[in-house]
Structure 1
Amino acid sequence: MELQKYISKFLTKRKKKLSEKDYILCNEIAKIIGCNIQNINLYREAFSLKSSSKNQKKSNYERLEFLGDSVLGTIISCHLFSTYPNANEGYLTQMKSKIVNRKNLNKLGSELALPDLLQNESTTPLSDNIAGNLLEALVGAIFLDFGYDACKSIVLSRLLTASEINKLENKIVSYKGLLLEWSQKKKVKIRYETSEEIHVHKNLVFRTCVWLDHDNVSNATDTSKKKAEEKAAQRAFYILNKKQCILENPKDHT
């Protein structure tokens, strides 16, 4: 009975020390990771934006993002290594790239509504990658709060589950990268020619042509050079894949 009174008194005292804002943050993080956090300061930092004021040098998510990026990479690498014992290095590298690439992390961070947990406002528009950046910062905070083993368990059971990873197995992240790998194996030269075009209403677009040796395989336009190249590569992939099977399964190769 005395112990129960002490614990109850301790928890009440702890709640009083937390502001309403901190208490909400604790509860939201607990819902995401499935357990109560220990060090609120880590999560405050993980969800704080960089201040534009020179006089304010408060901590922000960037350092934890840097740490979380490395921790997440290690967790995923170890998971893939043990899950696919017969896969070659190329397959493991591709799978890791699919999981930790910016687009996928942004998607996961958005689904977890991580930008809603930001503790301060920004005077400038938020980056398109903010959701993914915050996910990495969260992983960094979890690692410092609980240690590697617990962090790994939380990541694989709550943030990047096995079912989510399995969905990515047959997904093509970069057609440009896929074509490059294929061209190197086949010892053919693939190149991209991109030019600027002015369309109606004076909108600037980029046109990319994909050349295989001396043959123009495909072309595409988009609002950025990178998007135009990826779209042209996707079209080239489908054209070439009809003639010969480009997409192999490196998992079965040793």
Structure 2
Amino acid sequence: MELQKYISKFLAKRKKNLSEKDYHLSNEITKIIGYPIHNINLYREAFSLKTPSKFKQNNNYERLEFLGDSVLGTIISCHLFATYPNANEGYLTQMKSKIVNRKNLNKLGTELGLANFLQNESNTTLSENLAGNLFESLVGAIYLDLDYDTCKKIVLERLLTPSEINKLENKIVSYKGLLLEWSQKKKLCIRYETVEEMQGNKNLVFRTHVWLEEERISNATDTSKKKAEEKAAQRAFYILNKKQCILENPKDHT
């Protein structure tokens, strides 16, 4: 209650010194992070798109995204190191990858509605990873505006809670990577063959076949080679997992 009163008084005071647009941004960010912000310029930059400029370098989210990526990585690494004292380096690396991978960050950024805070319009098509990029730029802005300890507290208590992290423990991020790791442990050769195919509607697709030694396990098609390989790997995983357990006990970290 005391914190809420402090924030309310802080925002009321800032409203007199900010434009309506900046006040709205300040208010919305404060609601998300639970702390009053100090430097509105950082958050304005964190939600600004890159625009063509012949005369000067315009401030946009990319630099803060770069910083936020490193800060977020450090926060998550320290959290995992303390949370799983018996885990080996491989498990910690896998868990970190599940948390900070682009798909998960996009999900977090979308759930927070970060794209709603964009400060300028763009004539170009927005990246499918924009929500995740803005999530990282927000972390970068929080780190510079407040401090590392406060930023860490905000990330782990409001933006990416331990309960959300625990949900990712058994999540498979890449079936292709999982099959590769399994095949290396078993000293088996797994390979992918991808060819281009023209469908009846004249759309070009990629078909990937997964081979284990000399046996063709599965195949799948998609609009890109990467997507086709991942889809084929997922099908191969389910087929092979019925014959032998590929996925290790997730609690067996050592």
* TM surpasses 0.5: yes
Shift in alpha-carbon separation, 1:51–1:244, aligned structure 2, 3 A: same
**Is 1:19 matched up with 2:19?**
yes
How far has the Cα of 1:253 moved from its partner? Answer: 3.8
1:185 corresponding residue in structure 2: 185
Shift in alpha-carbon separation, 1:20–1:207, aligned structure 2, 3 A: same
Aligned partner letter, 2:20: E
CA distance in 1, matches of 2:187, 2:227: 26
How far has the Cα of 1:58 moved from its partner? Answer: 1.9
CA distance in 2, matches of 1:29, 1:173: 30
Higher RCO structure (Cα 8 Å, ≥6 apart): 1
1:44 corresponding residue in structure 2: 44
Structure 2 unaligned spans of 5+: 1-8
How far has the Cα of 1:54 moved from its partner? Answer: 2.3
1:110 corresponding residue in structure 2: 110
Secondary structure (helix, strand or coil) at the match of 1:218 reads strand
CA deviation string 1:176-228 (max 9, x = no partner):
00000001101111110000000111011100000111111111111111110
TM-score (norm 1): 0.93
**Counterpart contact for 1:175–1:237, Cα < 8 Å:** yes
Aligned partner letter, 1:203: N
1:6 corresponding residue in structure 2: none
**Is 1:132 matched up with 2:137?**
no
1:154 corresponding residue in structure 2: 154
CA deviation string 1:29-82 (max 9, x = no partner):
001101110111110110111012323522100000000000000000000111
Aligned partner letter, 1:177: G
CA distance in 2, matches of 1:207, 1:87: 38
CA deviation string 1:115-157 (max 9, x = no partner):
0000011110110000000000000000011111110000000
Aligned partner letter, 1:98: K
**Counterpart contact for 1:91–1:251, Cα < 8 Å:** no
CA distance in 2, matches of 1:10, 1:228: 52
**Is 1:249 matched up with 2:249?**
yes
CA distance in 1, matches of 2:85, 2:110: 32
Structure 1 runs of 4+ with >3 Å offset? 9-14
CA distance in 2, matches of 1:142, 1:36: 10
Secondary structure (helix, strand or coil) at the match of 1:200 reads coil
TM-score (norm 2): 0.93
Superposed counterparts of 1:217-232, under 5 Å: 217-232=217-232
1:120 corresponding residue in structure 2: 120
CA distance in 2, matches of 1:54, 1:219: 49
CA distance in 1, matches of 2:171, 2:11: 47
Q: How many residues align?
A: 247
Identity %: 81
How far has the Cα of 1:252 moved from its partner? Answer: 2.0
CA distance in 1, matches of 2:114, 2:10: 30
Structure 1 unaligned spans of 5+: 1-8
Aligned partner letter, 1:75: I
**Counterpart contact for 2:206–2:222, Cα < 8 Å:** yes
Say what the alpha-carbon RMSD is for the aligned residues. 1.7
